[in-house]
């Protein structure tokens, strides 16, 4: 069993952190193999940001596959760029707050979550990636949710003030993800 995930969005949406949290959780608390590969460009700011996470029971060959099993899209341009890479029967996770384009594929499952709006409602736009991570983990259970939360908790260890908000964000995401299974 191997899962290829692409996470794509604007720089500043926490796309890389989302991927890293997932990879870190897999490394720390499972026996699975995992790779995290950030695509990188020459620009320091702006533009699209995307990363690839592969989680597998066996050896991982390509840290960047040709075809994605899952795709998380945080903004419009990423939808256009990456939707064609999603395999038939794959799952698309969309930030429905700002991606309003029609999804021109009938052969994929779609999980919608208005993470930008929810994050703003929670009072901190930055937690949108943690909500989306919750959605993804809640829907796929590719790794146990509690393991992912422990990783987030550990990574935010130096900023304990942020923990309650992130916990709320992650659980909201889990709820959305689970409800759409």
Partner 1 sequence: MARVLMKGCEAIAEAAVRAGCRFFAGYPITPQNEIPEYFARRMPEVGGVFVQGESEVASVNMVYGAASAGTRSMTSSSSPGISLKSEGISYAAAARVPMVYANISRGGPGVGAIQPAQQDYFQATKASGNGGFEMLVLAPSTVQEAVDLTYAAFDYADRDQNPVLILADGVIGTMMEPVELPPMKSDEEIAAIRAGKAAWACTGHKLDYANRSWIQPGQWDTKKMQQENEKAAAMYATWEQDVQVEEYHTQDAEVVIAAYGISGRIAKSVVDICRSAGKKVGLIRPITVHPFPYAAFDRINYDVCKAVLDVEMSIPAQMVQDVRAGVKGRCPIETCLCSGGNIMSREAILNTVDAILAK
Interface residues with partner 1 (CB under 8 A) are 20, 23-24, 27-28, 33-38, 40-42, 58-67
Nearest distance in Å: CB 68, partner 1? 13
Among 94, 42, 38, which residue's Cα sits nearest to residue 64? 38
Nearest distance in Å: CB 123, partner 1? 31
Among 48, 55, 51, which residue's Cα sits nearest to residue 25? 55
Residue 131 CA, chain-centre distance (Å), reads 9
- Cα distance between residue 164 and residue 169, in whole Å: 9
Q: Closest CB to partner 1 among 20 and 172?
A: 20
Q: Closest CB to partner 1 among 35 and 96?
A: 35
Among 112, 54, 126, 46, which residue's Cα sits nearest to residue 79? 112
Nearest distance in Å: CB 46, partner 1? 16
Q: Closest CB to partner 1 among 65 and 134?
A: 65
Nearest distance in Å: CB 62, partner 1? 5
Place of tokens 């959305």: 176
Nearest distance in Å: CB 143, partner 1? 13
Structure tokens at 139: 């829907």
Q: Closest CB to partner 1 among 24 and 70?
A: 24
Q: Closest CB to partner 1 among 66 and 104?
A: 66
Angle at 134 between CA 131 and CA 147, to 5 degrees: 130
**Class of residue 56 by CB neighbours under 10 A (exposed 0-12, middle 13-18, buried 19+):** middle
């Amino acid at each position: 069993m191997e899962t290829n995930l692409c996470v794509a969005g604007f720089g500043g949406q926490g796309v890389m952190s989302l991927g890293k949290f997932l990879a870190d959780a897999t490394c720390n608390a499972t026996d699975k193999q995992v790779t995290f590969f950030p695509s990188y460009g020459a620009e320091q700011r702006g533009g699209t940001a995307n990363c690839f996470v592969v989680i597998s029971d066996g050896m991982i060959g390509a840290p960047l596959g040709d075809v994605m099993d899952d795709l998380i899209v945080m903004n419009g341009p990423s939808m256009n760029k990456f939707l064609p890479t999603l395999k038939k029967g794959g799952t698309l996770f969309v930030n429905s707050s700002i991606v309003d384009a029609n999804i021109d594929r009938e052969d994929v499952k779609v999980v919608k979550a208005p993470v930008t709006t929810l994050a703003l409602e929670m009072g901190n736009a930055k937690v949108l990636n943690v909500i989306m991570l919750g959605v993804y983990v809640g829907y796929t259970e590719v790794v146990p949710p509690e393991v992912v939360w422990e990783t987030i908790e550990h990574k935010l260890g130096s900023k304990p003030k942020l923990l309650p908000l992130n916990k709320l964000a992650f659980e909201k995401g889990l709820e959305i993800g689970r409800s759409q299974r």
